[in-house]
Amino acid sequence: MESMEDIVRRIVREELAAAAASEPLVAIAPPPEVPWNPRALYSVARAAELLDVSTDYVYKAIREGRLASVELGTERAKRRVSAAALEEFIVARKRGM
C-alpha cells in the first residue's frame, strides 16, 4: 500500500508532467536594449541578479552540475556563466527537472 507521502509525490509528478507537456516553453531574452548573445559571459553575481537569487544559490547549482560555468582562473571571482547556460538552466527548471 502506498504511503500518503508517496501518493502526494506521484500526483505532483503527474501534474508537473502534464503542465510541462501542455505549456509551450518560452526562451528567456534580455532586455530590449541589450542584444541577445548566447555566448555572452556573466559573473556569478550578475547571473544571480538575472535569476533573482543569491550568489550562494548560483554557486551551489554550479557545484551540483545543474548550471554550467566557465572557470577563467583559479579565483572564485573568475568563474563565468554563459547566457546559453542560464537559458538551459531556466528551461530545465520550468520542465520540473
* Average pLDDT over every residue of 59-83: 87
Does residue 27 have a pLDDT over 70?
no
* Average pLDDT over every residue of 80-96: 85
Spatial contact of 69 and 62, defined as CB atoms under 8 Å apart: yes
pLDDT of residue 91: 87
* % the chain with pLDDT above 90: 28
Positive or negative: CA dihedral 16, 17, 18, 21? positive
In this prediction the pTM is 0.58
Boundaries of every domain in the chain: 4-94
Nine-digit cell at 4? 500518503
Chain segment 2-22, per-residue pLDDT in tens: 788 878 888 888 887 777 676
